[in-house]
Each structure stands twice: as structure tokens, then as C-alpha cells.
Amino acid sequence: MMQLGCRVLFLTLAILLSACSFSLVADVTPVPGYQSIPRNIEEEKPGLVYPLVPPDLIKGEGIYLQECSPCHGQTGMGDGSNSASLPIPVTAIGDQSIARQVTLEDWFRLITQGDLEHYMPPFNKLLTDRQRWDVAAYALSLDVSEQDLAHGLQLFKEHCSNCHGIRGNGKDSDTYFQDISDFTDLENMAIKSTADFYRVLANGSGS
């Protein structure tokens, strides 16, 4: 879980604690061509969906480059080799104004169900559940540089690990709070966006 949790949590900490500029959802102007997650996907949610094992970003990258980059581009900016032939712009899923607002579950559902109205095919038959979680996690990490991730890890160790523990599970820490978040909890992490973490870091929560 540290692969996924670090990518979401440590980048957020790097942004907040180093005083980088970041606007919340209400302040963000979507990039041209951005298509929000279709309402039918939101309405058809049968219940919480989350991975049973931590997603593998390395495997997810391989799947992304083969199946997704022809349209979304290698860095997720909507500039793949097939994008010019489509009648509408491809969503730039690697753009921070989009990536910071979505959750792992959002991408998994979209990859699974597709959005044919915007020329996004479903991958529920082509990829297994685990492969879809892997590629969803990789897609969620496209706006995170290795430098930001390393910086976030450093800041987490300095400012957060005393309570959350060095592994983020809230158990191997110097201070114990009953309501401490467990960042290794796959069920909980699947429904959190980077913007969610930013709000908690900015405003506090619980004990």
C-alpha cells in the first residue's frame, strides 16, 4: 500500500508543507477538453469498491503504455498518437487540476465501465480486476514526479510520522490516537483524493 499511499499522501504533504501554491476544487478551472466523470457512473455505484491487494504501479505502467497512452499520451496530457483522429479532445488525466480531484475508485470505475460518449472503451473484459486497479493507480500517479514524491516522504517523516507512524498505519508511532487514519487501509484510501488530504492538512481533523 505504500506505493499508492505515498503517491497520494506524500505529494500532498510536499505541496502543503513547502508552501507550494494549490487551489481547491472550487478554485480550479478545468483544462480545455476536460470531461467530468459521467453521471451514470456515479449513479450506478453498487457500493464501495476497493482493491483487495495493493496496486502494482510497475505493472500498471506497462498496461497504461500499451492500452491508454495511444489516446491519453505517455504523461497523461491527452496528446497520444490517436488523439488527433478523435472528434473531441482527450481528457488530460495527468493534469494536476484534474488528477488532484479524482480518487482511485473513480478511475477504476471509468476504466471498467468506459464512457463511449467520449470514445472511452470499457476494459472489464480485456483486463482483470487486478490489472484495472494497477492501471488506475498508475493513472492516478501521472501528475506526481519522483522529486515531489521524495520531498513528500521527507516531510512526512519530519512532520507526520510521530502520530501516523513511519509506515502510515497509525500503529508504530510515538503518539496514539484512537481515531488516527491508517494510510495502509485499502478500503479507505480508494475513496480519497489528493484534494481530500489537502483539506485535512489545512484544516485538521479529529484528535
Determine the Cα–Cα distance for residues 159 and 191; give it in Å rounded to an integer.
24
Note the pTM of the prediction, 2 decimals.
0.76
- pLDDT (0 to 100) of residue 3: 53
Determine the Cα–Cα distance for residues 157 and 167; give it in Å rounded to an integer.
9
- pLDDT (0 to 100) of residue 23: 34
H or E stretch at 59? helix 57-63
- pLDDT (0 to 100) of residue 152: 92
- pLDDT (0 to 100) of residue 205: 81
- pLDDT (0 to 100) of residue 49: 85
- pLDDT (0 to 100) of residue 170: 80
Residue 136: φ, ψ to 5°: -65, -45
Determine the Cα–Cα distance for residues 161 and 5; give it in Å rounded to an integer.
14
- pLDDT (0 to 100) of residue 37: 43
- pLDDT (0 to 100) of residue 62: 97
Collect the ranges in the chain with pLDDT lower than 70: 1-48, 173-178, 207
Determine the Cα–Cα distance for residues 103 and 47; give it in Å rounded to an integer.
15
